[in-house]
Chains A and B, each alone.
Chain A
Amino acid sequence: MTSLTTVPAPIGEAASPPGASRAERAGHLLQQHGAAIVLMLVVAVASLAFDGFASGGNLANLAVSSSFVAILAVGMTFVIITGGIDLSVGSQFALGGVLAAWASQYGWLAALALPLAVCGTIGLAQGWLIARTGMAPFIVTLAGLLGARGLMLAVSDEGSNTYLVKSSTFAEFGQGEFLGLAYPVYVALVLFGLGALLLQRSRFGQNTFAIGGSEDSARLMGVPVARTKITVYLLTGLLAGLAGALNAARLSSGVTILGVGMELDVIAGVVIGGTLLTGGAGSLSGTLAGVLLLGTIQNVINQIGSLTSAYQQVVSGAFLAVVVVVQRYLSRVQRLT
């Protein structure tokens, strides 16, 4: 540990260096908090425009339905900051749900432990392949996407057998409410808090940023590159299993058609939240805003009864495009100065 006396400050969260121009500081602000600013604007406009939007029930629904994507996005933020990607989370989410529903016949502990164990193992295997064999994360996790979905279909008779949750204690994890909000919302918030601590305040978090900034320099500085990478993929696997299990508890069944394309929603949320797809910069507060923004867009489009749901994808796609263009512009400004 003494070899790392001067830890490089995490790039994404670094306070603007002294003497930075005003434009540059504005750029930093936009990158880190752009999604939060847009989110606040959208929420403000929607509350004024639609009666039902700001109602407690609607906001509670919005929070619950975003919480599962949010849990996955915590892990994805770590992965993307290292410069990687994890395409398998949607499939692992579905697998976790089916396993949890099946295992619930043996009690709530089994219903939680089995998805965590299986999805954790998949994450660990993916991380090992990426870190030790140098294979591209895209390909490894694409294999994971197919493999996890195949496994899910195998344990549910090609998806035709929907296991029902047998343990009412376990169902309570997804359905129980505290102050009008279902438990998964609190789980997501706690995970964001813990994740932010891990990312900003721990050596592991700093290593994550360092690898994404420049893997070679990180290695030369003595950062345990392989171990860190394996850990981040293990983390996404565990979180996907947990989110899947909580969702199964909420729905009281292991629905087999879930999670298709969900990884793209997660990635979109993370990127809109200001995490660079090229790695090295990003924050969990941004991710939270990004995920909530996507959920809010869906909610608002539904409020506008005359627009079909297809426009939700148009608007989300447009947001994503704008964010990527802005990021590219900002990173060029930073490089030039």
Chain B
Amino acid sequence: MVKPPRRGARLRAVLAASSVALLAVSGCAKSEDGGDAGKDQGGQGQQAVQSTAAAGPTCSLDKFGGEKFDLKSAVVGFSQSEKEANPFRIAETGSIKAEAGKIGISKLRATNAQSQFSKQISDVQQLIAQGAKALVIAPLNSDGWEPVLRQAAAKKIPIVTVDRKINGTPCQDYLTFIGSDFVEQGKRAADQMIKALDGKGKVAILLGAAGNNVTTERTQGFKQQIQAKAPGIQVTFEQTGEFAREKGQQVTEQLVQSHPDIDAIYAENDEMALGAVTALKGAGKKAGDVKIVSVDGTRAAVQGIVDGWIHAVIESNPRFGPLAFQTLQKFLDGEGIPEKVIISDREYDSANAKESLAGAY
């Protein structure tokens, strides 16, 4: 019997093993050019509260039914939803960790669901099992939190959801939601779009990922405002780019083929807008041929305004750390917490892009 070529086989096995390891390493090394984004501590670009639904009911420690504890020595859990492969997520996690360090929360446990919803559910359940007294959650999806909410309610653990909502009853299922007014973001994007197009033209929308309130509300606000203010603008194309750069590029490539007469693109986040820029460059368009308005305020997108490719960017501020922990502290001190805390977002256009670049994340 002929012996198999052992050396070759062994080499292949080693190669296979090392390539698996390499893949994994390159996976976690993937980062954006703005990798230092979460680190800026200088107060520049910090979140400010815009409204706290003042008329609405508030939630106090008594009403919630929990007990006071010391935030600094307690286990506090943070569950991030998506891979930290885009500046928003990098800045968000960075801000939470930096603020926890600053105010002296020694037992912050952070998990990342890597965009897998079932992992996020088990991540948070594990944080609860590890004795977390308070939770800050950036939910991947708004529905489907039943098992987590039940466990948290049983142990009276206050949950602060940041950037996206959890569908449930405030003060019972969760404490409060801190985030932007996404409908308002959509409206402001529409205002910029109307200015860019002088009130008439054909617009394409690069939708965000399905199944969360951000996409729905950014779309809703944009369309409402366009309908109300500029009936001359038509939305002729809508397709999801799933908040991802490569998907935004791919959809835009198809768009310029199928709708060559398009005047403008509304991208529901910066990553897709940057993908669209790449696609437009590839199709031989020049800066400004197709007006792009997007939402987020990442450094690369604001740079895009400076370069003339992007018309305007509505900010969606990811630096949730200070506000999240302030809210928890106030709650523990017995103050009433509103059921949602809306932050104010800035706007970037050609007038302020250059000087604002440093404040973008």
Query: Is A158 within 8 A of B240, CB to CB?
Result: yes
Query: Is B117 within 8 A of A257, CB to CB?
Result: yes
Q: What string of 1s and 0s marks CB contacts (under 8 Å) between A305-330 and chain B?
A: 10011110110011011101100100
Shortest A278–chain B CB gap in Å is: 15
The docked-state distance in angstroms from the alpha carbon of A159 to that of B330 is: 37
Query: Is A258 within 8 A of B109, CB to CB?
Result: no
Asked whether A200 is an interface residue with its Cβ less than 8 Å from the other chain, the reply is no
The docked-state distance in angstroms from the alpha carbon of A252 to that of B166 is: 13
CB-contact partner of B116 in A250, A261, A308, under 8 A? A261
Question: Would you list which residues of chain B between 148 and 191 have a CB under 8 Å from chain A?
Answer: 150
Query: Is A258 within 8 A of B240, CB to CB?
Result: no
The docked-state distance in angstroms from the alpha carbon of A302 to that of B78 is: 11
Query: Is B112 within 8 A of A308, CB to CB?
Result: yes
Given contacts A310-B112, A324-B16, contact A251 B28 (CB under 8 A): no
Given contacts A175-B147, A310-B114, A314-B28, contact A61 B20 (CB under 8 A): no
Question: Which residues on A sit within 8 Å (CB–CB) of B130?
Answer: 52, 58, 303
Asked whether B232 is an interface residue with its Cβ less than 8 Å from the other chain, the reply is no
Asked whether B13 is an interface residue with its Cβ less than 8 Å from the other chain, the reply is yes
Query: Is A253 within 8 A of B125, CB to CB?
Result: no
Asked whether A160 is an interface residue with its Cβ less than 8 Å from the other chain, the reply is yes
Question: Which residues on B sit within 8 Å (CB–CB) of A262?
Answer: 118
Which interface residue of A68, A156, A160, A336 has the most chain B CB atoms within 10 A?
A: A160
Asked whether B121 is an interface residue with its Cβ less than 8 Å from the other chain, the reply is yes
The docked-state distance in angstroms from the alpha carbon of A57 to that of B152 is: 12
Query: Is B123 within 8 A of A302, CB to CB?
Result: yes
CB-contact partner of B147 in A164, A251, A309, A318, under 8 A? A251
Asked whether A104 is an interface residue with its Cβ less than 8 Å from the other chain, the reply is no
The docked-state distance in angstroms from the alpha carbon of A52 to that of B141 is: 27
CB-contact partner of B23 in A247, A257, A309, A317, under 8 A? A317
Asked whether A5 is an interface residue with its Cβ less than 8 Å from the other chain, the reply is no
Residue of B nearest to A61 (CB): B125
Residue of B nearest to A56 (CB): B129
CB-contact partner of B122 in A153, A261, A298, under 8 A? A298
Query: Is B25 within 8 A of A309, CB to CB?
Result: no
Question: Which residues on A sit within 8 Å (CB–CB) of B122?
Answer: 61-62, 64-65, 298-299
Query: Is B144 within 8 A of A311, CB to CB?
Result: no
Given contacts A250-B147, A313-B24, A332-B4, contact A258 B126 (CB under 8 A): no
Question: Which residues on B sit within 8 Å (CB–CB) of A139?
Answer: none
The docked-state distance in angstroms from the alpha carbon of A336 to that of B1 is: 9
Q: What string of 1s and 0s marks CB contacts (under 8 Å) between A54-94 and chain B?
A: 01011001101100100000000000000000000000000
Shortest A268–chain B CB gap in Å is: 11
Asked whether B111 is an interface residue with its Cβ less than 8 Å from the other chain, the reply is yes
Question: Would you list which residues of chain B between 223 and 250 have a CB under 8 Å from chain A?
Answer: 240
The docked-state distance in angstroms from the alpha carbon of A61 to that of B25 is: 28
Question: Which residues on B sit within 8 Å (CB–CB) of A64?
Answer: 122, 125, 147
Which interface residue of A156, A261, A299, A309 has the most chain B CB atoms within 10 A?
A: A309
Residue of B nearest to A325 (CB): B13
Asked whether B21 is an interface residue with its Cβ less than 8 Å from the other chain, the reply is yes
The docked-state distance in angstroms from the alpha carbon of A52 to that of B109 is: 13
Shortest A53–chain B CB gap in Å is: 9
CB-contact partner of B210 in A57, A256, A303, under 8 A? A256
CB-contact partner of B24 in A55, A250, A317, under 8 A? A317
Asked whether B351 is an interface residue with its Cβ less than 8 Å from the other chain, the reply is no
Question: Which residues on B sit within 8 Å (CB–CB) of A260?
Answer: 115-116
Query: Is A251 within 8 A of B20, CB to CB?
Result: no
Query: Is A318 within 8 A of B21, CB to CB?
Result: yes
Question: Which residues on B sit within 8 Å (CB–CB) of A105?
Answer: none
Query: Is B121 within 8 A of A65, CB to CB?
Result: yes
Interface size class of B (residues with CB under 8 A): 35 or more
Question: Would you list which residues of chain A between 154 and 168 have a CB under 8 Å from chain B?
Answer: 156, 158-160, 162, 164
Query: Is B129 within 8 A of A255, CB to CB?
Result: no
Given contacts A61-B125, A325-B17, contact A257 B9 (CB under 8 A): no
Asked whether B197 is an interface residue with its Cβ less than 8 Å from the other chain, the reply is no
CB-contact partner of B27 in A310, A321, A336, under 8 A? A310
Question: Which residues on A sit within 8 Å (CB–CB) of B17?
Answer: 318, 321-322, 325
The docked-state distance in angstroms from the alpha carbon of A308 to that of B78 is: 12
Shortest A295–chain B CB gap in Å is: 8
Asked whether B110 is an interface residue with its Cβ less than 8 Å from the other chain, the reply is yes
Asked whether B62 is an interface residue with its Cβ less than 8 Å from the other chain, the reply is no
Q: What string of 1s and 0s marks CB contacts (under 8 Å) between B252-294 and chain A?
A: 0000000000000000000000000000000000000000000
Question: Which residues on B sit within 8 Å (CB–CB) of A61?
Answer: 122, 125-126, 129
Which interface residue of B127, B131, B211, B215 has the most chain A CB atoms within 10 A?
A: B211
Question: Which residues on B sit within 8 Å (CB–CB) of A255?
Answer: 117, 141, 143-144, 211
Asked whether B140 is an interface residue with its Cβ less than 8 Å from the other chain, the reply is yes
Question: Which residues on B sit within 8 Å (CB–CB) of A252?
Answer: 143-144, 146
Asked whether B305 is an interface residue with its Cβ less than 8 Å from the other chain, the reply is no
CB-contact partner of A65 in B13, B118, B128, under 8 A? B118
Question: Would you list which residues of chain B between 313 and 330 have a CB under 8 Å from chain A?
Answer: none
Question: Which residues on B sit within 8 Å (CB–CB) of A158?
Answer: 210, 240
The docked-state distance in angstroms from the alpha carbon of A290 to that of B215 is: 38
The docked-state distance in angstroms from the alpha carbon of A175 to that of B147 is: 7
Query: Is A251 within 8 A of B145, CB to CB?
Result: yes
Asked whether B142 is an interface residue with its Cβ less than 8 Å from the other chain, the reply is yes
The docked-state distance in angstroms from the alpha carbon of A33 to that of B117 is: 31
Asked whether B216 is an interface residue with its Cβ less than 8 Å from the other chain, the reply is yes
Shortest B317–chain A CB gap in Å is: 23
Question: Would you list which residues of chain A between 164 and 198 have a CB under 8 Å from chain B?
Answer: 164, 171, 175
CB-contact partner of A305 in B27, B28, B109, B125, under 8 A? B109
**Beyond the given A159-B209, A160-B215, A314-B21, could you list 19 further A-B residue pairs with CB under 8 A, ordered by the A residue number?**
A61-B125, A65-B121, A162-B142, A171-B146, A175-B150, A251-B121, A252-B143, A253-B144, A256-B211, A302-B109, A309-B112, A309-B113, A313-B28, A317-B23, A321-B16, A321-B17, A324-B13, A324-B16, A325-B17
Give A contacts to B, CB under 8 Å: 52, 55, 57-58, 61-62, 64-65, 68, 153, 156, 158-160, 162, 164, 171, 175, 247, 250-253, 255-258, 260-262, 298-299, 302-303, 305, 308-311, 313-314, 317-318, 320-322, 324-325, 328, 332, 336
User: Closest 4 CB pairs between A and B?
Assistant: A159-B210, A310-B28, A65-B122, A251-B144
Can you show 6 pairs from A to B with CB atoms below 8 A apart? Answer: A52-B129, A158-B210, A257-B141, A305-B109, A310-B28, A318-B21
